[in-house]
Structure 1
Amino acid sequence: MELEKAAYAPYDGPEEFITEWTDRIWVGRGIGLIRENYAADAVVHGAYGTTRGAEQVVRSTLMKINAFPDRVGQAADVVWEPRGPQAFLSSHLVLSAGRHTGPTAYAEPTFREFTSYTIATCLYRLGVMEHEWVVRDEAAVVRQLGLDPAEVARRVAFGAWDEEALRPPARPVLEAGDTGPRPDRHRGECEGVLELVEQVWNQRMLHQVEQYVARDVTSYLPRHRSFVRPDGYQRGLLELLAPMPDARFEVREVVAHEDPARGGVRVALVWWLRGTYCGTPVHGPLTGSPVTVLGSSQFHFRDGRIVAERRVYDEIAVLAQIARARGDEPA
């Protein structure tokens, strides 16, 4: 399946398309260009719910740039694959850096600097974004600004996700994701990642992790934490699951791409984690209430094994759901 140039015009390829459009909007402050870059009925799933249309993206972008006017989003990686001759699905890993000099919904300016990671997974058709999942490591920002994550979580606005986004997939995700059929590329690596999710993440067969990861594997997790070796990979997963020991992961999109300049095959996932806050009480008193987490991961392969995973999800969104179930929101 060859991707037509019209899918990423006027740039030289999908990666340049993604990085240049991001720069034009966020660094060049061409906020109104979002109306050209996003379809009028674009679907955007975030950590706090689903929105539709370009206008909500324009408004939220304007407010975030006002809060962090010198923020620069540097492309750390772009994993992409064609979805038909005129469309591609991309997983864009962004390293953001800036200073908090404007007001946000939960704090006056702190004048502190921050860095954080975002993964935006987008379906573009003929240069227009139709479907997006975007997750940010908001807890990293909150902590670097010197704010209390629990207090911030009590103040954030929480919407609802589109019901269709949470329904069981109609087809195996290797055949088709939520955005439609996908190419049969890098099947071995894709199957390996999905087996890891099912066997190690879902079935809790943590002792099998060495079947999938290299000895020198590194897990990059929210709040700029890194875990090394298979033992570290297990510990990072245990930490995520302990508060919700009944939780399960459901993969909704797979993106695979090989780039020799970056050292091999990369596989990206969009996933939901759903469980109940009934385990380790790290977020305060247990509520037994449901928690839904939208997350994304990028896996880097070398010689058939995973040597790195970058996992991004919003821990403030988790705290916000628990606070709402507990009735902790401010009056």
Structure 2
Amino acid sequence: MSEDDVKNPKNAAAARPKEMVEQVLQVERRDYVDLAPTNRPRSQSLEGFDDIYTDIVDYIVRCTHRIWDERDIGLIYTHYTHNCVLYGTLGAIYNREDVVRDTIQRLVSLPERRGMATQVLWRGNDQEGFYTSHLVTGSGRHTQYGHYGAPTGRTFVSRTIADCMIHRNMIYREWVVADTMAIIQQLGLDPNGFAERFARSAFDKGLLSLDIGENRRLLGQYPPEAEADVSIAHNDVEAETLRWLHEVFNKRMFGKIKDVYAANCQYHGPLMKELYGVAAVTHQHLGLIGSIPDAAYMPQHICSNPCEEGGVKVAVRWLMEGHHLGYGILQTLGEPTGARLQVMGMTHYHYKDGKIVDEWNVYDELSLLTQVKLAQMAKASPSAAS
């Protein structure tokens, strides 16, 4: 397969036998029974995948449902490699057995939770592997004792985005950004107590939050890079997305937002915010930078799919690094502490007629609060004073 085929999976699909015409399902308009049918023929080449799966979207939606909702947790053994790595906002998991244990613990605490697929964006093929970005809306009730403490009986709704790298039915790398702070607040729990606990666990393992050199947005005394690095883009809409993200987040040209978003756009943000209009979007992004005013924005991956609803949907996985030096929308962090912070986030955009009409943005404020607490513990420790 040529390099051009890798960059454009449609080329690879066209080269396959004519009887395999790829018609990959999309999530937004369909009920679960249509997304995971019992009698739909395979509509995408999936060499090495279990026979039950008809395309890559079916694979992600169905296996997630089987593991989390049907409680077939043992499917992790046939759907994750033994040495898989799962990157989360509060730490990483480095093997399959720990993924099994973590799944069990979460289901113990929230046995009524249901994770409903909101959309799945993807790229790739069964030879080189697939990359998927799965936006999930989770809801449930806190009825059991577990990692959230004594049951409160309260209900919650939160968003999660999980990005997976998959080859021959096995996930070998995954990034998960769950809005844990949204759950904690809706359950009426104290976020500071949870952050203290997570920070103490990391601190007792010898982990410290340390400055690791100058910020990548400003190298030495130079201004931000004039042009965005678009090398990870696969088409024009992805390249243009990377360009305006660089303008807004690294060059601080927040006025660019009004040129990119539709006047009636909707913003679906952390803590289950549902906001409307360009002014609201601008304030949310300006407010995030306000809390971390020296932040550098670094896209890690981007993919896109034409949308049955019209237009194109784009998924971006990104990192922000900087210091807690100001005030913004991250009110749970309190007074600026100077702590080094890293934000792992994922965003889905829906473009229609050349403008963004919907943005789903997920990052976890609990992770940031934990980093602040860890920095405070490190500063107060005897070893730090010596």
TM-score by length of 1: 0.88
Q: Tell me, yes or no, if structure 1 residue 6 matches structure 2 residue 53.
A: no
Question: Corresponding residue for 2:67?
Answer: 25
Question: Corresponding residue for 1:85?
Answer: 127
1:1-331 map, 5 Å: 1-2=12-13, 4-6=45-47, 8-10=49-51, 11-82=53-124, 85-156=127-198, 157-158=201-202, 174-176=230-232, 184=234, 187-260=235-308, 262-280=309-327, 282=331, 283-327=333-377
Q: Work out the CA distance in 2 between the residues paired with 1:173 and 1:16.
A: 33
State the aligned residue count.
311
Percent identity of the aligned residues?
Answer: 31
Q: Which residue identity is paired with 1:291?
A: L
TM-score by length of 2: 0.76
Does the 8 Å CA contact 1:267/1:299 hold for their aligned counterparts? yes
Q: Which residue identity is paired with 2:83?
A: D
Q: Work out the CA distance in 2 between the residues paired with 1:7 and 1:118.
A: 28
Does the 8 Å CA contact 1:227/1:236 hold for their aligned counterparts? no
Q: Work out the CA distance in 2 between the residues paired with 1:263 and 1:56.
A: 41
RMSD of aligned Cα (Å): 2.3
Does the 8 Å CA contact 2:126/2:167 hold for their aligned counterparts? no
Q: Work out the CA distance in 1 between the residues paired with 2:239 and 2:282.
A: 20
Q: Work out the CA distance in 2 between the residues paired with 1:8 and 1:264.
A: 30
C-alpha displacement at 1:326, in angstroms? 1.6
Q: Which residue identity is paired with 1:280?
A: Y
C-alpha displacement at 1:284, in angstroms? 2.4
Q: Work out the CA distance in 1 between the residues paired with 2:55 and 2:278.
A: 36
Give the SS at the match of 1:21.
helix
C-alpha displacement at 1:305, in angstroms? 1.6
Could you say if the C-alpha distance between residues 20 and 204 of structure 1 is closer, same or farther in structure 2, counting changes exceeding 3 Å? same
Q: Work out the CA distance in 1 between the residues paired with 2:194 and 2:146.
A: 11
C-alpha displacement at 1:97, in angstroms? 1.0
Could you say if the C-alpha distance between residues 7 and 140 of structure 1 is closer, same or farther in structure 2, counting changes exceeding 3 Å? farther
C-alpha displacement at 1:33, in angstroms? 1.2
Q: Which runs of 4+ in 1 moved over 3 A?
A: 83-86, 157-160, 172-176
Q: Which residue identity is paired with 1:233?
A: V
**Structure ranking higher in strand proportion:** 1
Q: Which residue identity is paired with 2:54?
A: D
C-alpha displacement at 1:229, in angstroms? 1.5
Unaligned runs of 5+ in 1: 161-167, 177-181
Does the 8 Å CA contact 1:71/1:98 hold for their aligned counterparts? yes
Q: Which residue identity is paired with 2:372?
A: I
Q: 1:197-232: CA deviations, max 9, x gaps?
A: 100122110111122111111111111112222111
Q: Work out the CA distance in 1 between the residues paired with 2:145 and 2:295.
A: 36
Q: Which has the higher contact order (CA 8 A, sep 6+)?
A: 1
Could you say if the C-alpha distance between residues 234 and 7 of structure 1 is closer, same or farther in structure 2, counting changes exceeding 3 Å? farther
Unaligned runs of 5+ in 2: 1-11, 14-43, 208-215, 217-227, 380-386
Give the SS at the match of 1:6.
coil
